[in-house]
């Protein structure tokens, strides 16, 4: 009976030692990080980084060209989420540019409702921002949706900018 209790205590001790060592290392690391903070050095604290403002682009409306409208956004969407969407779409285009040479060098762009081609503006006034790629020749635009693994008419609308 005493042998079993002794075995249990030994097992518990061997289980607690790594925990104590880990906590000790954490305290040491945490202490080092804290001592390097502006509060302890006497330097004035810096303001938190302000995210970049969204950059809006006028959509080109040249005859014979199309843009790929990827997202129609409501005005209530936070800027941080719009930024993530733009970064994601740009990353995806770079990932898929080998599928179609027309995608090389393209980035996802953002336009306000007033700065898109009139034929693209939906009747629903909730949509105030548009994420798009282009312009591209109208005859190649649908193939670009497929190269991006997007569904034509759903999450990729090859829209002729002038009809």
Per-residue confidence (pLDDT) for residue 10, from 0 to 100 = 66
Whether 68 and 100 have beta carbons less than 8 Å apart is answered as no
Rounded average pLDDT over 25-32: 57
137/130 Cα distance (integer angstroms): 20
138 Cβ contact partners less than 8 Å away, ≥ 6 residues apart: 64, 65, 66, 158, 160
Rounded average pLDDT over 84-110: 96
Q: What is the pTM of this model?
A: 0.67
Per-residue confidence (pLDDT) for residue 72, from 0 to 100 = 93
113/120 Cα distance (integer angstroms): 9
- Could you give the maximum distance between any two Cα atoms of the chain, in Å? 92
Greater pLDDT, 45 or 160: 160
Whether 62 and 135 have beta carbons less than 8 Å apart is answered as yes
Mean of pLDDT over the chain: 81
Per-residue confidence (pLDDT) for residue 45, from 0 to 100 = 54
């Amino acid at each position: 009976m005493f042998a079993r209790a002794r075995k249990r205590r030994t097992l518990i001790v061997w289980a607690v030692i790594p925990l104590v060592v880990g906590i000790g290392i954490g305290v040491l690391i945490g202490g080092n990080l804290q001592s390097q903070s502006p509060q302890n050095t006497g330097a004035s604290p810096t303001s938190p980084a302000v995210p970049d403002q969204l950059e809006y682009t006028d959509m080109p409306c040249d005859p014979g060209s199309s843009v790929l409208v990827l997202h129609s956004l409501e005005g209530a969407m936070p800027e941080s989420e719009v930024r993530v969407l733009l970064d994601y779409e740009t990353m995806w285009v770079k990932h898929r540019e080998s599928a179609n040479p027309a995608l090389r060098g393209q980035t996802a762009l953002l336009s306000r409702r007033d700065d898109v081609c009139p034929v693209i503006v939906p009747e629903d006034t909730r949509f105030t921002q548009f994420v798009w790629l282009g312009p591209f020749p109208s005859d190649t635009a649908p193939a670009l949706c497929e190269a991006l693994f997007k569904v034509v008419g759903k999450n990729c609308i090859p829209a002729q900018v002038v009809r």
